[in-house]
Amino acid sequence: ASAGGAGGTDAARSGAGPGGERGSSGPPFAPCPPPLPRAPFLLVLVASAPGHTAQRQAVRASWGGAHRAGGYPVRTLFALGAPGSGEEQARLEEESQQHGDLVQGRFADTYANLTLKTMMLLGWAAAHCPGAAFVVKVDDDVFLNLPVLARHLGALPSPHRLYLGRVHWRVQPNRDPGNRHHVPASAYPAGAFPPYCSGTAYVLSGDAALGVLGAAPHVPPVPLEDVYVGLCARWAGLAPTHTARMAGSTHYPMDLCCYGEVLYSVHQVGPQAMASAWAMVGGEGGACTPLHRGLGVLRLTPPSQCCLLDFMMVKFSR
């Protein structure tokens, strides 16, 4: 199936897609939640891997367990491919029965198949939850401040054709065959990639997600999922919207103001830290006051590790 054909469970379970590799054997069945009874305002789709059980549980026990955020209905699901053994698959099936939040494709869960995984989860959203106003794609080691993000999206004057994230500009393809980010000239012969949002976390409005899916059959595959989504977005006439409040691949140290108020997403947050970060959103660490902001700026060096300084510098440099 092509990337554009990944809508719905059956298509999502078929073989390889853009830049991907077909698994030698698929799972006996692909755990997939039933169609959602009501469309959430915000549907969060977490790209995970079969062995990341602790990370998924940490997300469920923190931001991913919320059904309302910022006054809006939200739902979080996990997307993954086929594991390498029947024992792993049996554990996934048990996890799916317990939580009902796994969407699994019939393809090998490998780095080369990240593009296929993303197209699968977007296709599932289009088929099973077409009424969602926004779709968020995140990695499973990302902390997502759902209340702050939902309030921001709810306040937008026009919720259409949105492709929001930490935008990368003028990135050149990596031509080193030994690098896992390698993009051969045969896959992308041009120079710099068009602007695209970091794959750690980005938001698509419902119509933008459909635009990306519709563009996929017309866009030659590349192995980098965030770049591929950006290429599909360009084909669909979608321009990425930059926000410094999504940290991209940058990891910021735990800070009350950064995690509880300023940032929408933070990368490289482990299972133990996820609960602490979520407690800050709930106000358990106190309010983010001007004093907290000042102390955060003073104690976090270099400045690139302070989300407040980074936010101001990026915001006013564009």
Determine how many CB atoms are found less than 10 A away from the CB of residue 28.
Answer: 10
269 and 215 in one domain?
no
Determine how many CB atoms are found less than 10 A away from the CB of residue 97.
Answer: 10
165 and 232 in one domain?
yes
Note the pLDDT tens digit of each residue in 95-132.
Answer: 999 999 999 998 999 998 999 999 999 999 999 999 99
Burial tier of 161 (Cβ tally within 10 Å: 0-12, 13-18, 19+): middle
187 and 40 in one domain?
yes
Residue 28 has pLDDT above 50, yes or no: no
Q: What is the mean pLDDT of the chain?
A: 82
The whole domain housing 122 covers 3-242
Note the pLDDT tens digit of each residue in 146-171.
Answer: 999 999 999 999 889 999 999 999 99
Number of domains in the chain: 2
Least confident of 56-60, 199-203, 267-271: 267-271
Determine the pLDDT at residue 312.
Answer: 54
Note the pLDDT tens digit of each residue in 39-64.
Answer: 899 999 999 999 999 999 999 999 99
126 and 268 in one domain?
no
Residue 298 has pLDDT above 60, yes or no: no
270 and 168 in one domain?
no
Note the pLDDT tens digit of each residue in 73-105.
Answer: 999 999 999 999 999 999 999 999 999 999 999
Note the pLDDT tens digit of each residue in 137-147.
Answer: 999 999 999 99
Which pTM value belongs to this model?
A: 0.83
The verdict on residue 248 lying in a domain is no
